[in-house]
Structure 1
Amino acid sequence: MTTDAPTPDLRIPDENHCPPFDDDVKRVVCYEDADSETNLLMTPSKERAELPNDAISFTLSNETGTRFTTNYYHWRVWKLVDGEWFYIAPRVVPEPAMMLQSGGSHTWNLTIDNATLGGRIDGAQGTEDITLPGVGGGTYAFGISGWFEGQEYDNGTGVATRFELVGDSLSLTPTDDLREVGRDSEEKHVRADETNATYLATRVEKPDGGTVRKIPEQAIRIAPIRNLLASFEDGISQVRLDGRNVYLRETPQHIDYKGAVYKIETVEN
């Protein structure tokens, strides 16, 4: 059992230009705010990468004199839009504890790959060589969190850095296996190859619950939401999707996407 020992002196500036983590992370070390004396860093191999395909690496180094417990599977990528950070990936994370001793480092080699976006995007990735498809131009951040020897996990430290992707915005398109099977007035009916659930998306003017804003980089990673939102067009106010059952946290839910609000729900076949 840990004793919640004092945090090593990380020399963290008051201002943070990187994303916030979850509530267990009490401090964030951002590469952009660090100076030459900062002893826990996430360092990028370069500041910019080019779309549609490029590579960039990120190295976590620990010179604090104290062991840092983390999970190399649980790297994180966010995108900055309108002054707000949106979590992008990964969506599925194995949960082993991994130790980074003082004087050690770990590197993730990230490949940006927008060459083929017609299929579903995998939710899980690895600990060293990882791929990030389905992203558009803009400001992103890469980071990870953990805690120091002698501390509790809920007194954590996040380590992150920003990077730029230079290129076109991401256009949300349906998966390659989606096809239209019918229309009825303002409703469109679409179907994927694998079908064991039915979803309904309705454009609403006054939602009866709270809304969650999603950006294209988030929507493209959840196949039902991707196919529902990408199927709307002029004159269509509702889309019915027969597709694969995917856990959507809760339904119905209201999604704010590009200034319009959609009610997403599962329905009986």
Structure 2
Amino acid sequence: MDHRRCHRSRRRFLQTVAGGSVLLAGCTDLVQTDDGPGRDPVQVDSDSDTDSATNADDAFAGFWNPSEDATVVDFETAPLTAVVTGAVRTDDGLVATLDFDEPATASSPATLTGVIANQRDYEQTFDPARLVLLDNPPASRSSGDANDAAYLVPTEEHPFAETVPSSSRDDDGRWRVDTVHSDWYPETLTLDPEEQVECEYQLLGHHQRPSQPIVAGRYGFSYQDSGFTIAVWPTDTPGPDGNSQFSGTDVPALPESLDGEGTETTDLRWYHEATPETQVYLEPNQESATAPARIEFDLVNYSDEQLAGNPHQWRLSKLVAGEWYWIAPGGTPDPLSWVAPGTVTTSTLDLYDGRPIDRNRSRTVGHLGGGRYAYSVGYSTDGETHAALFDLDAPPLAVEPEPDAVIDDSDGTEADRVVRLPNYEDARRPATLTVTRVDSHSTADADASTDTDVDTDAHLIPEQLPRRRFRSFRNTLPFFDDGIDRVVLETDRGTALRWFGYEETTRTVSYKGTVFEVTGALESD
């Protein structure tokens, strides 16, 4: 263990409290919804976000960089690694923070330093239990078993402790508290204006010898909705057990951009390729689901480095005929956040084969057909992408035009069909999209074919068409199932030219085994 690293981190930790900053060793898991509630998905942007903290560790994310403070320690008494995440800050300006100082050794239990602070410019008297570290006693259950507990025990250096329990080592060399029967802290405490106090603790296991000592797990110390978590994991085997149903599966690289355009993610870290030695991985709670389905993904960071990235950045892609297609979201804002060592950040994906139902605190995607999908997130240590596969059981997606699209074959054009969207009449810059059948290719499964042997600008699949970016294709390509050879869509500039980057141009696309020429143009005055 590099003790110099511990001491350096602790100095930063104390300096940050002294400066009045809010501390938290965690990250914000921000919710993103692809489709709006009760509205057709093409009528809403797929990049709207709602800030939402998912647990107490997230309550003050964004104020600081956790890599500056979180100290990872390797115990010398057992093959375990540990770190503290979390913080407490009350509405009346009381703050409590906690960080490891030294690991457990043969001569001493693991020691931690807490800081209790009054950030107001007036004296405050309060119930110590509100700050968690001064509860009677600060205890946690790792598994819910009453005999599987961890305690934050005050030392002789603790200024508020009325009782300092003794400790001893068990036969396995693990440290335990000897008794917890007395109150450790007074009923009330008073802090002067802007006063802060250092408090020293030891991390000790349950006092009863038949119970578990400190083991791998997550020990939560909380009061109401805030508190600390001490994450403990096996030093040499922090990863999953390797029992993924996709073990041994080879899949192509994911696209880096919405358009694809030949760019691929070069450093992919798939969950199904993770081993027990893997320190960072994205673990789904299920790898097969039937729509409608909810899948939770845990981004586990059991390394000694922070993960940095965009909390809004997530991707859902579908694998069709050996090629990945970006499904959602259509775009993301670009903030920066972190996942500290020891943190497990959960994101939830709700999946529907039809119109989605908006779910609070989840990422919702509708209009999905059955098949193999990949979910990835935007956090990394060095530009890698963490992703996980899952199979979705759902009927093939049947794409239909919007209900309020009007077919108008009486305007004198040479098109087989003219489709008018409601936004056309009042458009400040009306525009058209003309789609013409060029060539058809016989395939065993036209719905699944991506025509990768055909030289076109893009291949499209049904799951893409209900998204806002592809609105013009949703309201043209389905008509070709009726033997139509040419469709003109009358709409506004945003709808007609969005896919072209708002330029008037002609491109070719393939869809369901057919090649089309597509031209987007503004209407002349």
The Cα offsets for residues 171-199 of structure 1, whole Å up to 9 and x where unpaired, read as 11111111211166652001111123221
Taking the TM superposition and a 5 Å limit, the aligned residue runs for 1:34-53 are 34-51=274-291, 53=292
Show the counterpart of 2:476: 228
Taking the TM superposition and a 5 Å limit, the aligned residue runs for 1:52-201 are 53-116=292-355, 128-148=361-381, 155-182=382-409, 187-195=416-424, 196=427, 197-201=431-435
Question: Which segments of 5 or more consecutive residues in structure 1 lack a partner in the other structure?
Answer: 1-8, 149-154
Of the structure 1 ranges 16-25 and 177-186, higher mean CA displacement relative to structure 2 is found in 16-25
Query: CA distance change for structure 1 residues 35 and 147 in 2, over 3 Å: closer, same or farther?
Result: closer
The Cα offsets for residues 9-64 of structure 1, whole Å up to 9 and x where unpaired, read as 999x998547435369542110111112211111111112212x221111111112
Mapped pair 1:242 → 2:490: yes
Show the counterpart of 2:131: none
Equivalences, count: 245
Structure number with the higher strand fraction is 1
Kindly, what percent of the aligned residue pairs are identical? 28
> Partner of 1:156: helix, strand, or coil?
coil
Query: CA distance change for structure 1 residues 74 and 16 in 2, over 3 Å: closer, same or farther?
Result: farther
What is the identity, as a one-letter code, of the residue corresponding to 1:161? Answer: A
Mapped pair 1:32 → 2:269: no
Q: TM-score, normalised to structure 1's length? A: 0.81
Query: CA distance change for structure 1 residues 185 and 265 in 2, over 3 Å: closer, same or farther?
Result: closer
Show the counterpart of 2:518: 264
Q: Distance in 2 between matches of 1:106 and 1:19?
A: 24
Q: TM-score, normalised to structure 2's length? A: 0.43
Q: Distance in 1 between matches of 2:522 and 2:269?
A: 48
Q: Which has the higher contact order (CA 8 A, sep 6+)?
A: 1
Flag as ranges the 4+ runs of structure 1 deviating above 6 A: none
Structure number with the higher helix fraction is 2
Q: Highest CA radius of gyration, 1 or 2?
A: 2
Q: Distance in 1 between matches of 2:404 and 2:462?
A: 19
Mapped pair 1:20 → 2:20: no
Q: Distance in 2 between matches of 1:113 and 1:137?
A: 10
The root-mean-square deviation of aligned C-alpha atoms, in Å, is: 3.0
The Cα offsets for residues 131-157 of structure 1, whole Å up to 9 and x where unpaired, read as 010110000010124442xxxxxx511
Q: Distance in 2 between matches of 1:102 and 1:256?
A: 45
Q: Distance in 1 between matches of 2:275 and 2:284?
A: 15
The Cα offsets for residues 196-217 of structure 1, whole Å up to 9 and x where unpaired, read as 32211111139xx733111111
Shift of 1:236: 1.6
Q: Distance in 2 between matches of 1:235 and 1:38?
A: 53
